[in-house]
Protein backbone atom coordinates (compact mmCIF):
# COMPACT_ATOMS: atom_id res chain seq x y z
CA UNK A 1 0.00 0.00 0.00
CA UNK A 2 1.30 3.48 -0.91
CA UNK A 3 2.38 5.63 2.04
CA UNK A 4 2.30 9.43 1.96
CA UNK A 5 4.23 11.71 4.30
CA UNK A 6 2.52 15.04 4.99
CA UNK A 7 4.79 17.58 6.67
CA UNK A 8 2.74 20.01 8.73
CA UNK A 9 0.16 17.25 8.68
CA UNK A 10 -1.58 18.09 11.97
CA UNK A 11 -2.56 21.52 10.70
CA UNK A 12 -5.57 22.88 8.88
CA UNK A 13 -4.86 21.75 5.30
CA UNK A 14 -2.75 18.76 6.31
CA UNK A 15 -5.43 17.15 8.47
CA UNK A 16 -8.10 17.46 5.77
CA UNK A 17 -5.73 16.06 3.15
CA UNK A 18 -4.89 13.19 5.49
CA UNK A 19 -8.61 12.35 5.70
CA UNK A 20 -8.99 12.45 1.91
CA UNK A 21 -5.94 10.24 1.32
CA UNK A 22 -6.94 7.70 3.98
CA UNK A 23 -10.40 7.47 2.44
CA UNK A 24 -8.73 6.84 -0.94
CA UNK A 25 -6.79 3.87 0.49
CA UNK A 26 -3.41 5.44 1.18
CA UNK A 27 -1.38 5.01 4.36
CA UNK A 28 -0.47 8.37 5.90
CA UNK A 29 2.37 9.61 8.11
CA UNK A 30 2.13 13.09 9.60
CA UNK A 31 5.14 15.12 10.73
CA UNK A 32 4.26 18.19 12.79
CA UNK A 33 5.92 20.22 15.56
CA UNK A 34 2.53 21.30 17.01
CA UNK A 35 3.65 24.93 17.18
CA UNK A 36 1.86 26.89 19.96
CA UNK A 37 0.77 29.69 17.64
CA UNK A 38 -1.39 27.17 15.77
CA UNK A 39 -2.11 24.41 18.30
CA UNK A 40 -2.08 26.34 21.58
CA UNK A 41 0.38 26.41 24.50
CA UNK A 42 -0.19 22.78 25.51
CA UNK A 43 1.02 21.56 22.10
CA UNK A 44 -1.35 18.62 22.23
CA UNK A 45 -2.35 16.80 19.03
CA UNK A 46 -5.70 18.20 17.87
CA UNK A 47 -8.78 16.06 18.47
CA UNK A 48 -9.76 16.20 14.80
CA UNK A 49 -6.75 14.14 13.67
CA UNK A 50 -7.68 10.85 12.05
CA UNK A 51 -6.44 8.03 14.31
CA UNK A 52 -5.54 5.96 11.24
CA UNK A 53 -2.74 8.42 10.42
CA UNK A 54 0.64 7.93 12.10
CA UNK A 55 1.65 11.17 13.84
CA UNK A 56 5.32 11.91 14.46
CA UNK A 57 5.84 14.98 16.64
CA UNK A 58 8.95 16.64 15.32
CA UNK A 59 10.27 19.58 13.36
CA UNK A 60 10.96 19.61 9.65
CA UNK A 61 14.21 21.47 10.41
CA UNK A 62 15.42 18.46 12.46
CA UNK A 63 17.22 15.93 10.21
CA UNK A 64 16.60 13.08 12.68
CA UNK A 65 12.85 13.73 12.78
CA UNK A 66 12.69 13.98 8.98
CA UNK A 67 14.67 10.76 8.56
CA UNK A 68 12.29 8.94 10.91
CA UNK A 69 9.22 10.33 9.14
CA UNK A 70 10.47 9.23 5.70
CA UNK A 71 10.76 5.55 6.57
CA UNK A 72 8.62 3.49 4.23
CA UNK A 73 7.28 6.59 2.45
CA UNK A 74 6.49 6.61 -1.29
CA UNK A 75 5.09 10.13 -1.77
CA UNK A 76 5.69 13.43 0.05
CA UNK A 77 3.34 16.39 0.47
CA UNK A 78 5.34 19.26 1.97
CA UNK A 79 2.95 21.63 3.77
CA UNK A 80 5.07 22.54 6.82
CA UNK A 81 5.44 26.32 6.88
CA UNK A 82 5.19 29.33 9.15
CA UNK A 83 2.35 31.34 7.64
CA UNK A 84 1.56 35.05 7.61
CA UNK A 85 2.56 38.10 5.59
CA UNK A 86 2.50 40.62 8.45
CA UNK A 87 4.44 38.59 10.99
CA UNK A 88 7.04 37.63 8.39
CA UNK A 89 8.00 41.28 8.05
CA UNK A 90 9.45 41.40 11.57
CA UNK A 91 10.01 37.77 12.60
CA UNK A 92 12.35 37.26 9.66
CA UNK A 93 14.87 34.80 11.11
CA UNK A 94 12.13 32.46 12.28
CA UNK A 95 10.35 32.54 8.90
CA UNK A 96 13.50 31.93 6.89
CA UNK A 97 14.61 29.16 9.27
CA UNK A 98 11.30 27.31 9.40
CA UNK A 99 10.32 27.72 5.76
CA UNK A 100 13.56 27.64 3.81
CA UNK A 101 15.87 25.69 6.11
CA UNK A 102 13.03 23.27 6.81
CA UNK A 103 12.54 22.69 3.09
CA UNK A 104 16.29 22.26 2.53
CA UNK A 105 16.47 19.76 5.39
CA UNK A 106 13.67 17.70 3.83
CA UNK A 107 15.30 17.85 0.41
CA UNK A 108 18.70 16.71 1.72
CA UNK A 109 16.96 13.69 3.20
CA UNK A 110 15.12 13.02 -0.08
CA UNK A 111 18.39 13.22 -2.00
CA UNK A 112 19.53 10.21 0.03
CA UNK A 113 16.15 8.50 -0.03
CA UNK A 114 14.21 9.51 -3.19
CA UNK A 115 10.47 9.06 -3.36
CA UNK A 116 8.14 8.57 -6.32
CA UNK A 117 6.71 12.10 -6.13
CA UNK A 118 7.03 15.37 -4.21
CA UNK A 119 4.34 18.05 -3.99
CA UNK A 120 5.05 21.34 -2.20
CA UNK A 121 2.60 23.96 -0.98
CA UNK A 122 3.33 27.41 -2.35
CA UNK A 123 1.16 30.52 -2.18
CA UNK A 124 -0.57 33.16 -4.26
CA UNK A 125 1.62 35.63 -2.33
CA UNK A 126 4.45 34.93 -4.82
CA UNK A 127 2.57 36.95 -7.45
CA UNK A 128 2.48 40.15 -5.45
CA UNK A 129 -0.15 42.18 -7.25
CA UNK A 130 -2.32 40.10 -9.56
CA UNK A 131 -2.55 40.51 -13.31
CA UNK A 132 -4.38 43.63 -14.53
CA UNK A 133 -5.71 45.23 -17.70
CA UNK A 134 -5.02 48.86 -18.61
CA UNK A 135 -7.26 51.39 -20.35
CA UNK A 136 -6.06 50.12 -23.74
CA UNK A 137 -7.21 46.58 -22.81
CA UNK A 138 -3.59 45.37 -22.55
CA UNK A 139 -2.62 42.86 -19.86
CA UNK A 140 -0.02 44.29 -17.50
CA UNK A 141 1.97 43.21 -14.44
CA UNK A 142 1.34 46.11 -12.07
CA UNK A 143 4.07 47.66 -9.97
CA UNK A 144 3.83 47.67 -6.20
CA UNK A 145 1.85 50.58 -4.83
CA UNK A 146 4.07 53.39 -3.63
CA UNK A 147 4.22 54.39 0.02
CA UNK A 148 3.27 57.92 -1.04
CA UNK A 149 0.05 56.69 -2.64
CA UNK A 150 -0.80 54.45 0.29
CA UNK A 151 -0.28 57.24 2.80
CA UNK A 152 -2.77 59.35 0.86
CA UNK A 153 -5.28 56.46 0.75
CA UNK A 154 -4.90 55.95 -3.00
CA UNK A 155 -5.59 52.26 -2.74
CA UNK A 156 -6.23 51.21 -6.32
CA UNK A 157 -3.55 50.13 -8.76
CA UNK A 158 -2.65 52.69 -11.39
CA UNK A 159 -0.61 52.91 -14.57
CA UNK A 160 2.24 55.38 -15.06
CA UNK A 161 -0.29 58.06 -16.05
CA UNK A 162 -2.40 57.61 -12.92
CA UNK A 163 -5.19 55.72 -14.67
CA UNK A 164 -6.82 52.92 -12.69
CA UNK A 165 -6.03 49.34 -13.67
CA UNK A 166 -8.68 46.60 -13.83
CA UNK A 167 -7.84 43.40 -11.90
CA UNK A 168 -7.89 40.17 -13.92
CA UNK A 169 -7.53 36.46 -13.07
CA UNK A 170 -3.86 35.70 -12.49
CA UNK A 171 -2.32 32.74 -14.36
CA UNK A 172 0.82 30.82 -13.41
CA UNK A 173 2.70 32.58 -16.22
CA UNK A 174 2.68 35.91 -14.35
CA UNK A 175 6.14 36.83 -13.14
CA UNK A 176 6.65 36.65 -9.37
CA UNK A 177 6.75 39.92 -7.45
CA UNK A 178 7.84 39.20 -3.91
CA UNK A 179 6.48 41.90 -1.62
CA UNK A 180 6.94 40.19 1.77
CA UNK A 181 9.36 37.87 3.52
CA UNK A 182 6.65 35.22 3.48
CA UNK A 183 6.26 35.55 -0.30
CA UNK A 184 10.02 35.16 -0.68
CA UNK A 185 9.92 32.07 1.56
CA UNK A 186 7.17 30.43 -0.47
CA UNK A 187 8.88 31.13 -3.78
CA UNK A 188 12.13 29.72 -2.40
CA UNK A 189 10.28 26.61 -1.18
CA UNK A 190 8.74 25.90 -4.56
CA UNK A 191 11.93 26.57 -6.51
CA UNK A 192 14.02 24.44 -4.15
CA UNK A 193 11.63 21.50 -4.52
CA UNK A 194 11.38 21.73 -8.31
CA UNK A 195 15.13 22.25 -8.71
CA UNK A 196 16.20 19.44 -6.40
CA UNK A 197 13.47 17.17 -7.72
CA UNK A 198 14.81 17.61 -11.25
CA UNK A 199 18.41 17.01 -10.15
CA UNK A 200 17.63 13.82 -8.21
CA UNK A 201 14.98 12.37 -10.50
CA UNK A 202 12.05 13.03 -8.13
CA UNK A 203 8.96 14.20 -10.06
CA UNK A 204 7.81 17.37 -8.33
CA UNK A 205 5.01 19.93 -8.51
CA UNK A 206 4.14 23.12 -6.61
CA UNK A 207 0.62 24.19 -5.68
CA UNK A 208 0.04 27.91 -5.25
CA UNK A 209 -2.83 28.07 -2.75
CA UNK A 210 -5.07 31.11 -2.70
CA UNK A 211 -7.12 32.05 0.39
CA UNK A 212 -8.05 28.72 1.98
CA UNK A 213 -10.94 28.61 4.46
CA UNK A 214 -12.99 26.02 6.31
CA UNK A 215 -13.27 24.04 9.56
CA UNK A 216 -10.18 23.44 11.71
CA UNK A 217 -8.42 26.68 10.83
CA UNK A 218 -6.53 28.10 13.81
CA UNK A 219 -8.89 30.75 15.19
CA UNK A 220 -6.53 32.22 17.78
CA UNK A 221 -3.66 32.82 15.36
CA UNK A 222 -3.88 36.49 14.28
CA UNK A 223 -1.67 35.82 11.24
CA UNK A 224 -3.73 33.00 9.74
CA UNK A 225 -6.36 33.25 6.97
CA UNK A 226 -8.55 36.33 6.94
CA UNK A 227 -11.81 34.39 7.41
CA UNK A 228 -10.48 32.76 10.57
CA UNK A 229 -9.34 36.16 11.83
CA UNK A 230 -12.79 37.63 11.17
CA UNK A 231 -14.41 34.62 12.86
CA UNK A 232 -12.31 35.09 16.02
CA UNK A 233 -13.49 38.69 16.23
CA UNK A 234 -17.15 37.78 15.70
CA UNK A 235 -17.02 34.94 18.24
CA UNK A 236 -15.83 37.48 20.79
CA UNK A 237 -18.56 39.99 19.94
CA UNK A 238 -16.24 42.35 18.07
CA UNK A 239 -16.44 43.79 14.58
CA UNK A 240 -14.07 42.39 11.95
CA UNK A 241 -11.15 44.75 11.28
CA UNK A 242 -10.74 45.51 7.57
CA UNK A 243 -7.65 47.27 6.25
CA UNK A 244 -7.62 49.92 3.52
CA UNK A 245 -11.20 50.40 2.23
CA UNK A 246 -12.21 46.75 2.11
CA UNK A 247 -12.56 46.67 -1.67
CA UNK A 248 -9.39 44.65 -2.22
CA UNK A 249 -10.25 41.38 -3.97
CA UNK A 250 -9.20 37.83 -3.16
CA UNK A 251 -9.98 34.25 -4.18
CA UNK A 252 -11.44 32.06 -1.40
CA UNK A 253 -11.16 28.30 -1.84
CA UNK A 254 -12.58 25.68 0.51
CA UNK A 255 -10.13 23.43 2.31
CA UNK A 256 -11.77 20.26 0.96
CA UNK A 257 -11.16 21.48 -2.59
CA UNK A 258 -7.54 22.11 -1.62
CA UNK A 259 -7.23 18.63 -0.09
CA UNK A 260 -8.61 17.10 -3.27
CA UNK A 261 -6.12 19.16 -5.30
CA UNK A 262 -3.29 17.76 -3.18
CA UNK A 263 -4.41 14.21 -3.96
CA UNK A 264 -4.68 15.02 -7.67
CA UNK A 265 -1.17 16.48 -7.66
CA UNK A 266 0.26 13.43 -5.85
CA UNK A 267 -1.33 11.17 -8.46
CA UNK A 268 -0.45 13.34 -11.46
CA UNK A 269 2.32 12.64 -13.96
CA UNK A 270 3.11 16.36 -14.32
CA UNK A 271 6.71 17.17 -13.43
CA UNK A 272 8.29 20.54 -12.73
CA UNK A 273 4.99 22.41 -12.95
CA UNK A 274 3.30 25.00 -10.74
CA UNK A 275 -0.47 25.16 -10.38
CA UNK A 276 -2.93 27.71 -9.03
CA UNK A 277 -5.35 26.20 -6.52
CA UNK A 278 -8.25 28.58 -6.02
CA UNK A 279 -11.95 28.91 -6.75
CA UNK A 280 -11.46 30.98 -9.88
CA UNK A 281 -13.76 33.66 -8.41
CA UNK A 282 -13.00 36.95 -6.69
CA UNK A 283 -14.65 38.62 -3.72
CA UNK A 284 -13.98 41.84 -1.86
CA UNK A 285 -12.71 41.52 1.69
CA UNK A 286 -15.54 43.79 2.87
CA UNK A 287 -18.23 41.59 1.30
CA UNK A 288 -16.66 38.49 2.85
CA UNK A 289 -16.68 40.10 6.31
CA UNK A 290 -20.37 40.92 5.90
CA UNK A 291 -21.21 37.45 4.56
CA UNK A 292 -19.50 35.74 7.50
CA UNK A 293 -21.26 37.96 10.05
CA UNK A 294 -24.57 37.09 8.38
CA UNK A 295 -24.13 33.29 8.52
CA UNK A 296 -22.86 33.54 12.11
CA UNK A 297 -25.97 35.49 13.12
CA UNK A 298 -24.00 38.66 13.91
CA UNK A 299 -25.38 41.15 11.39
CA UNK A 300 -25.12 43.74 14.15
CA UNK A 301 -21.31 43.58 14.04
CA UNK A 302 -20.52 45.67 10.98
CA UNK A 303 -16.93 45.54 9.69
CA UNK A 304 -14.64 48.24 11.05
CA UNK A 305 -12.82 49.77 8.08
CA UNK A 306 -9.53 51.03 9.47
CA UNK A 307 -8.33 53.05 6.48
CA UNK A 308 -4.84 51.78 7.31
CA UNK A 309 -2.50 49.60 5.27
CA UNK A 310 0.02 46.91 6.17
CA UNK A 311 3.50 46.57 4.70
CA UNK A 312 3.63 43.62 2.31
CA UNK A 313 -0.11 43.60 1.56
CA UNK A 314 -1.27 43.64 -2.05
CA UNK A 315 -4.44 45.10 -3.53
CA UNK A 316 -5.96 42.41 -5.76
CA UNK A 317 -5.10 38.82 -6.61
CA UNK A 318 -7.40 35.99 -7.70
CA UNK A 319 -6.74 32.80 -9.59
CA UNK A 320 -6.90 31.72 -13.17
CA UNK A 321 -7.33 27.95 -12.66
CA UNK A 322 -7.51 26.81 -16.29
CA UNK A 323 -4.11 25.08 -16.13
CA UNK A 324 -5.14 23.16 -13.01
CA UNK A 325 -8.40 22.14 -14.69
CA UNK A 326 -6.60 20.94 -17.81
CA UNK A 327 -3.57 19.16 -16.32
CA UNK A 328 -4.77 18.08 -12.85
CA UNK A 329 -8.46 17.70 -13.60
CA UNK A 330 -9.04 20.06 -10.68
CA UNK A 331 -12.59 21.37 -10.31
CA UNK A 332 -13.63 23.32 -7.17
CA UNK A 333 -16.78 21.76 -5.76
CA UNK A 334 -17.70 23.76 -2.66
CA UNK A 335 -19.79 26.83 -3.43
CA UNK A 336 -18.80 29.81 -1.29
CA UNK A 337 -22.11 30.36 0.53
CA UNK A 338 -22.38 26.66 1.35
CA UNK A 339 -18.77 26.69 2.56
CA UNK A 340 -19.48 29.67 4.81
CA UNK A 341 -22.56 27.98 6.27
CA UNK A 342 -20.50 24.87 7.02
CA UNK A 343 -17.84 27.06 8.63
CA UNK A 344 -20.50 28.77 10.77
CA UNK A 345 -21.72 25.38 12.02
CA UNK A 346 -18.18 24.49 13.03
CA UNK A 347 -17.64 27.87 14.70
CA UNK A 348 -20.79 27.48 16.81
CA UNK A 349 -18.94 25.03 19.06
CA UNK A 350 -15.62 26.89 19.16
CA UNK A 351 -13.93 29.40 21.43
CA UNK A 352 -11.24 31.75 20.19
CA UNK A 353 -8.78 34.15 21.75
CA UNK A 354 -8.91 37.35 19.73
CA UNK A 355 -5.32 38.57 19.31
CA UNK A 356 -5.96 40.79 16.29
CA UNK A 357 -5.60 44.16 18.04
CA UNK A 358 -2.45 43.00 19.82
CA UNK A 359 -0.96 41.81 16.53
CA UNK A 360 -1.91 45.08 14.83
CA UNK A 361 -0.24 47.11 17.57
CA UNK A 362 2.86 44.93 17.19
CA UNK A 363 2.96 45.79 13.50
CA UNK A 364 2.27 49.48 14.21
CA UNK A 365 5.12 49.67 16.73
CA UNK A 366 7.48 48.57 13.97
CA UNK A 367 6.10 50.96 11.38
CA UNK A 368 4.47 48.14 9.40
CA UNK A 369 0.94 49.50 9.73
CA UNK A 370 0.13 53.09 8.86
Of 195, 17, 212, 197, the residue nearest 124 (C-alpha): 212
Contact between residue 210 and residue 281 where contact means Cβ atoms under 8 Å apart: no
The mean-pLDDT minimum among 156-170, 176-190, 265-279, 340-354 falls in 340-354
Question: What dotted CATH number matches 3-131+169-307+316-365?
Answer: 3.40.50.720
Rounded distance, CA 58 to CA 131, Å?
39
Length of the chain measured in residues: 370
* 141, 143, 144 from 149: Cα distances, Å: 18, 12, 10
* pLDDT(221) > 90: no
Compute the average pLDDT of residues 329-339. Answer: 96
* pLDDT(225) > 60: yes
* 10, 43, 93, 340 from 39: Cα distances, Å: 9, 6, 21, 23
Tens-digit pLDDT profile for residues 108-118? 999 999 999 99
- Torsion sign across C-alpha atoms 303, 279, 78, 90: negative
* pLDDT(170) > 70: yes
pLDDT at 353: 65
Q: Name the residue ranges covered by the structural domains of the chain.
A: 3-131+169-307+316-365, 132-168
Active-site annotation, residues = 182
The mean-pLDDT minimum among 96-100, 134-138, 310-314 falls in 310-314
User: To which H or E segment does residue 57 belong?
Assistant: strand 54-57
Rounded distance, CA 356 to CA 261, Å?
31
Confidence of residue 275 (pLDDT cuts 50, 70, 90): very high
Compute the average pLDDT of residues 255-260. Answer: 98
| Furthest CA-CA distance within the chain | 60
Contact between residue 193 and residue 106 where contact means Cβ atoms under 8 Å apart: no
List residues bridging with 5 in a β-sheet. 29, 76
Q: pTM of this prediction?
A: 0.94
* pLDDT(354) > 70: no
pLDDT at 107: 98
Using the CB atoms, write b or e for 279-291: b if 16+ within 10 Å: bbbbbbbbebbbb
What is the CA 50 to chain-centroid distance, rounded?
A: 22
- What's the DSSP call for residue 289? H
pLDDT at 351: 64
DSSP 195-239: HHHHHTT--EEEEEE-EEE-TT--TT-TTS-HHHHHHHHHHTT-P
pLDDT at 178: 93
Of 104, 277, 263, 113, the residue nearest 202 (C-alpha): 113
Confidence of residue 226 (pLDDT cuts 50, 70, 90): confident
pLDDT at 368: 60
* pLDDT(369) > 70: no
- Average per-residue pLDDT for the chain: 92
pLDDT at 21: 98
Amino acid sequence: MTRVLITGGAGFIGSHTSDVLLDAGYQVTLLDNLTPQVHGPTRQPPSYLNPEADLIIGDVTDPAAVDRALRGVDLVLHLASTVGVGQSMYDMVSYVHNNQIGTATLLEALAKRPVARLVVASSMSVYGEGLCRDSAKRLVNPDERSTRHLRSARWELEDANGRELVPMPTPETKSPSLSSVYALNKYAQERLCLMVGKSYGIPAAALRFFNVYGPRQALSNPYTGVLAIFAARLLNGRSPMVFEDGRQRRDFVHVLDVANACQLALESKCDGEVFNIGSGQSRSILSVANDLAKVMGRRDLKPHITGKYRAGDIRHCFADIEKSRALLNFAPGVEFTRGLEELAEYLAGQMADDHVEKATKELESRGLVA
